[in-house]
Structure 1
């Protein structure tokens, strides 16, 4: 299983939010410095989220993100505010390994097929942000139907992988809820990366046992509740 340290960017700083709320932000410094730290500690991939994009400013932080892509040279999955084909193609052209589309995927599902045909399925990751078993969109402020049904549809449209985030536990550092994770992994055949609540070695091990392709480490990693070394050891 892969570990993806999160580098979430808001106003040019690396931050972590609780439950996706802007006012809950804790800042951790320069995004490139944070990215480099995790790579120096053994990570070989990053999960980069443009939070300003998620809050409506799609191109904000573009220079910072391009710098991270260029200077690290590692596998990067990028999300946050990619709400048009133009936005998606812009980011894919920067050389990011794959983009994460969520609201766009539910509003215009055929965009997955268009992007997969042009750039390859492996570069298109559909976001399955679940809140109470429903897919959450528009910065997690609205829901739009069952998350399992949407996940299967994304797969059928050509998404090469899924990012599952359990909004109900995201940022709380209280552990993973495994039942919805297992249900999703059993429901599709493409790789699933899991975010939300990953807070301990047992969480990482449980995701590995469930068959997850990867796990995103965010708040718990930055607060020191789990170390990157321990998470990586659980993946061996």
Structure 2
């Protein structure tokens, strides 16, 4: 299983939010410095989110993120504010290993097939952000149907992997809810990376045992509740 430290960017700063709420942002400084810290501690991949993009300013932070991609040179999955096939293509051509397509995937599902045909399935990750068992879209402000049904559809359209985020526990540092994770992993045949609630070594162990491909470490990593070294040791 692979560990993805999160580098979430808002207003040019690396931040962590609680439940996706902008007003809850805690700043941790320069995004590149944060990224290099996790790489220096042994991370081999990063989970980068353009939160300004998610909140509607898709062009914001573009230069900063492009610089981060080029300076780190590691596997990066990127989401936030990808509102068109052209947006996704630009990031893939910039050097992002895979893009995360969330709201766009529910609004224009065919975009997944188009991107997979053009760049390969491995570089297309569909976001399955779930709130109470329903897929959450538009900054998690709306829901659009059963998360399992959407996950299966994304797989059938050619997504090479899924990012599952349990919105109900995201940012709370209170642990993973394993039942919906296991249900999703059993429902599809493609890799699933899990975000939301990963706060202890036991959470990482539970995800590994459930068959998750990867885990995103966010708030608990930045607060010091979980150590990157411990999470990576648990993966081995």
TM-score category (smaller protein): over 0.9
1:72 match = 72
2:215 match = 215
Map 1:36-51 → 2, pairs under 5 A: 36-51=36-51
Map 1:79-158 → 2, pairs under 5 A: 79-158=79-158
Q: Deviations over 1:43-101 (max 9, x none)?
A: 00000000000000111101111111101100000000101112111111111000000
TM-score (norm 1): 1.00
Which residues of structure 2 form unaligned runs of 5+? Answer: none
Distance 2:22 2:103 in 1: 18
Q: Deviations over 1:95-149 (max 9, x none)?
A: 1000000000000000000000001000000000000000000000000000000
3-state SS of paired residue (1:229): helix
3-state SS of paired residue (1:148): helix
Distance 2:91 2:13 in 1: 19
Q: CA RMSD in A?
A: 0.4
- Larger mean CA deviation between 212-221 and 79-88 belongs to 79-88
Distance 2:64 2:4 in 1: 19
3-state SS of paired residue (1:88): helix
Distance 1:81 1:130 in 2: 18
3-state SS of paired residue (2:52): helix
Which residues of structure 1 form unaligned runs of 5+? Answer: none
1:3 match = 3
3-state SS of paired residue (1:96): coil
Matched residues, number:
236
Q: Deviations over 1:176-224 (max 9, x none)?
A: 0000000000000000000000000000000000000000000000000
Map 1:152-231 → 2, pairs under 5 A: 152-231=152-231
Distance 1:92 1:127 in 2: 16
* Deviation at residue 235 of structure 1 after TM alignment: 0.3
